[in-house]
Amino acid sequence: MKREIIKRLPKIELHCHLDGSVRPHILEQLAKQQNHPLAWTGEALKNKLVAPEDCTSLLDYLERFDVVLPYLQEEAAIELISYDLIAQVAEENVRYIEVRFAPLLFNRKGLTIEQIVTAVVTGLKRGEKEFGVKANALLCGMRHHDETTNQSVVTAVKEFYGKGVVGFDLAGDEANYPTALFESVVSIAKEHDLPITLHAGECGCPHNVMTAIELGATRIGHGIAIQKDEAVLNACLDKQTTIEMCPTSNFQTKAVTELKDYPFQKFLDAGLNITINTDNRTVSNTTLTDEYEKLANWYHIDYACMEKLNHNAVNGAFTSKSEKERLHADLTAGYAEYR
């Protein structure tokens, strides 16, 4: 597969964090506008934002977000980064994206959850109009936040459902806060029939994936630990769970350390509905083009496989039937000459 062709082909992305995808020059612009100088510029700033090769764990990886979050506490800034993310993905022909963020990490200066979600949706819709990329938002509860706080995120999903927000997620420190702790929060989302995707199986715990599925998640973020437990793998097959794999991030967070342990081929051969994603475009210093190029180098996947992974993403997307039909047709047309 050729990089220029990978870049040009239509793609779908289901797992991309807004706050992990702020371009360094945009952050510099925000720092200037907010009169709050950054301690680093240029390459030094990039080094602060990108998780290093020798990152030791998910927690270590998550520390990268401390640099950017202070600048994401105003509506104009939140709207700008949302719009800019659509500009970024348009450059590599992403046709549909679900952008996730934790609204209650953006309230340090007193913004309400409604103001925060509105700012994101406004930015996404402005990008959608300008670049022709369909974009919806997912709201993340955070594993280290208390139950009441996370419940208010579910309430916001309900309030904004169908108005640019399409589902609920749980992000953050999986190792110290297992999925079972969130039973009551996730159950509220389920009771209201809100679509659920949960980060699970990123820290070696297949039971977190099982719990997530039992609680009603139809998609799993990462899911790497599924390979450790056949019962969990079979449950994902039974329920046709969509798995949102994020190769670069999975090596950075040490979900795996060696290529031979990366379960892409295993999951593909087993018939899991896997999809390929960036996780965090800045923190993981990647694009969807980079992720597919890696898969081509590692597993020699061809365009037909790439097409299949993108159809899987459409099937798992939290969007309408008619939108999915349109996206499937876009993919079919786009890959026709490469099959």
Ligand X SMILES: O=c1[nH]cnc2c1ncn2[C@@H]1O[C@H](CO)[C@@H](O)[C@H]1O
* Catalytic site positions: 202
17 annotated to a ligand binding site:
yes
Q: Which of 279, 290, 291, 307 binds ligand X (CB under 6 A)?
A: 279
Stretch that binds ligand X, among 74-82, 94-102, 176-184, 232-240 (CB under 6 A): 94-102
Judged on CB neighbours under 10 Å (0-12, 13-18, 19+), 18 is buried
CB 15, min distance to Zn ion, A: 6
Does 65 bind ligand X (CB under 6 A)? Our answer is: yes
Does 279 bind Zn ion (CB under 5 A)? Our answer is: yes
* 73 vs 93, beta carbon nearer ligand X: 73
Stretch that binds Zn ion, among 139-147, 251-259, 271-279, 301-309 (CB under 5 A): 271-279
Does 202 bind ligand X (CB under 6 A)? Our answer is: yes
Task: Answer whether 317's CB lies under 8 Å from 12's CB.
Answer: yes
Compute the radius of gyration of the chain from its Cα atoms.
19
199 annotated to a ligand binding site:
yes
CB 129, min distance to ligand X, A: 24
Q: Which of 123, 141, 172, 201 binds ligand X (CB under 6 A)?
A: 172
* 17 vs 219, beta carbon nearer ligand X: 17
Task: Answer whether 156's CB lies under 8 Å from 119's CB.
Answer: no
Does 13 bind ligand X (CB under 6 A)? Our answer is: no
d(CA 20, CA 304): 30
- What is the sign, positive or negative, of the torsion defined by CA atoms of 73, 75, 77, 82? positive
* 118 vs 253, beta carbon nearer Zn ion: 253
Residue type, 231: A
15 annotated to a ligand binding site:
yes
Does 101 bind ligand X (CB under 6 A)? Our answer is: yes
d(CA 9, CA 317): 19
d(CA 193, CA 187): 10
* 100 vs 311, beta carbon nearer ligand X: 100
> Interface residues for ligand X in 182-201 (CB under 6 A)?
199
> Interface residues for ligand X in 24-43 (CB under 6 A)?
none
Does 168 bind ligand X (CB under 6 A)? Our answer is: no
Pick one of ligand X, Zn ion, none as the site partner of residue 202 (Cβ within 5 to 8 A by kind): ligand X
Does 249 bind ligand X (CB under 6 A)? Our answer is: yes
* 206 vs 221, beta carbon nearer Zn ion: 221
Residues making contact with Zn ion (CB under 5 A)? 279
Residues making contact with ligand X (CB under 6 A)? 17, 19-20, 58, 62, 65, 100-102, 105, 140, 171-172, 199, 202, 249, 253, 279-280
